């Protein structure tokens, strides 16, 4: 999952904390995270993701379904675009759903796909337009909704019906019984199911579930966390979490695979094979990074009742071309978002504070002690405090978090 998506999730969580309305579909239609958030009262929503093992004939049916959905997406987008250009009129989601009924009469192959799956395709177009107008209103780069090229539509969603489960199979309407590995049980009421194809042609099922979490005793321990590059994170008690640098570790093997891809002639089986090798390397890096974020955040949530992070603008930080690759490799935003998810599930708190001067201010006397990135030790000439600069920053972060809570 891209860093941009984690930034979007973090932003949506801030909106939720401010009392703004939040819908599951607004967060993510590509659920590779186990995202949890509170809906109402004590009901929470969570995503469970499982690996599917379809047969060759089922893969063919799934790919045909994706291509039909791609056609519906592109034609719905073209319809809305042409109507605006010709009539200066916007078409609503309800109107496109009515037109879909006529398309089914004109194109019998659309009947090979479950009705709610096709309706969800048009909902995605509607959400794309809503996001576009929000960006225009906010003065950001708009990014008009784009048509999907061949092989670029990779998921379908069953909203309320069209699927059922047993111990080892997932039955999909119009497709059949797919073998699935339930590595853990689903707890709660299933609301939606998304079938997704990865870049390495693996298939996954993601269930969105409403459930009521079990009450757990509130922990009183508090920590501030300063994320960095030399160490992935430093806690206010001085303990450090090493930076695994997953991308740097696999950078040579990725470069080698990319060179083979660039040399392969377009349209040949060799190029297709080389592309898949590149995708495998990227997938391995992403899986390791995600697993590390889940395990590390779980350790923090199990140990502390309140965890304080800096509210970093990572997009701006990546404009430093000397550090951009290392910052992207660290994936701080992913780590913070998953920590928020896990903390909310068990009744803990994650607080985000203004990062201004957290590294420069002395945690003992409060005076500003200027440092460069190469200065790794905080040495205060005013009070004589000498300690690791990251621990000093973590203490300041913890103090700001506690102050913000009164």
Q: What is the set of active-site residues?
A: 226, 310, 390
Of 366, 353, 386, nearest to 227 by C-alpha is 353
Tell me the two tokens of residue 403.
């102050």
Distance between CA atoms of 10 and 23, rounded to whole angstroms? 14
Distance between CA atoms of 215 and 122, rounded to whole angstroms? 39
- The position carrying tokens 């395990």 is 295
If phi over 0 gives left and psi between -120 and 50 gives alpha, with beta otherwise, what is residue 188?
left
Sequence-distant contacts of 143-151: CB under 8 A, at least 24 apart: 145/77, 147/73, 147/74, 147/77, 147/78, 148/70, 148/73, 148/74, 150/67, 150/70
Residues forming beta bridges with residue 204, ordered by sequence position: 51, 196
Alpha helices in 88-114 (DSSP H): 93-106
Task: Assess contact for 54 and 171: CB atoms under 8 A.
Answer: no
Distance between CA atoms of 71 and 125, rounded to whole angstroms? 12
């Amino acid at each position: 999952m891209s860093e941009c998506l984690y930034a979007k999730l973090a932003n949506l969580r801030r909106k939720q904390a401010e009392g703004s309305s939040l819908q599951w579909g607004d967060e993510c239609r590509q659920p590779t995270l186990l995202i949890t958030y509170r809906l109402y009262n004590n009901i929470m929503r969570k995503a469970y993701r499982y690996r599917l093992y379809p047969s060759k004939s089922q893969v063919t049916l799934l790919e045909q379904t994706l291509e039909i959905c791609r056609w519906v997406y592109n034609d719905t987008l073209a319809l809305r675009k042409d109507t605006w250009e010709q009539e200066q009129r916007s078409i609503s989601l309800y109107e496109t759903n009515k037109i879909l009924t006529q398309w089914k009469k004109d194109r019998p192959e659309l009947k090979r796909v479950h009705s709610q799956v096709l309706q969800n395709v048009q909902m995605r177009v509607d959400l794309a337009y809503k996001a576009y107008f929000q960006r225009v209103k906010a003065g950001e780069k708009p990014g008009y909704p784009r048509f999907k090229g061949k092989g670029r539509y990779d998921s379908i969603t069953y909203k309320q019906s069209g699927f059922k489960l047993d111990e080892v199979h997932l039955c999909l309407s119009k497709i059949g019984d797919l073998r699935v590995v339930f590595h853990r049980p689903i707890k709660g009421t299933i609301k939606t199911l998304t079938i997704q194809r990865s870049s390495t042609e693996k298939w996954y099922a993601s269930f969105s579930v409403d459930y009521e979490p079990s009450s757990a005793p509130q922990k009183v321990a508090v920590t501030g966390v300063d994320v960095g590059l030399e160490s992935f994170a430093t806690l206010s008690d001085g303990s450090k979490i090493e930076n695994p640098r997953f991308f740097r570790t696999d950078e040579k093997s990725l470069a080698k695979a990319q060179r083979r891809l660039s040399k392969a002639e377009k349209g040949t089986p060799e190029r297709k094979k080389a592309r898949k090798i590149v995708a495998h390397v990227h997938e391995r890096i992403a899986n390791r990074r995600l697993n590390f974020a889940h395990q590390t955040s779980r350790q923090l949530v199990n140990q502390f009742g309140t965890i304080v992070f800096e509210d970093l603008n990572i997009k701006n930080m990546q404009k430093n071309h000397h550090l951009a690759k290392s910052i992207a490799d660290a994936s701080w935003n992913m780590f913070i978002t998953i920590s928020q998810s896990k903390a909310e599930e068990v009744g803990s708190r994650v607080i985000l504070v203004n990062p201004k001067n957290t590294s420069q201010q002395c945690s003992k006397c409060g005076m500003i002690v200027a440092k460069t990135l190469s200065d790794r030790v905080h040495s205060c000439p005013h009070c004589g405090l000498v300690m690791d600069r990251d621990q000093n920053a973590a203490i300041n972060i913890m103090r700001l978090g506690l102050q913000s809570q009164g």
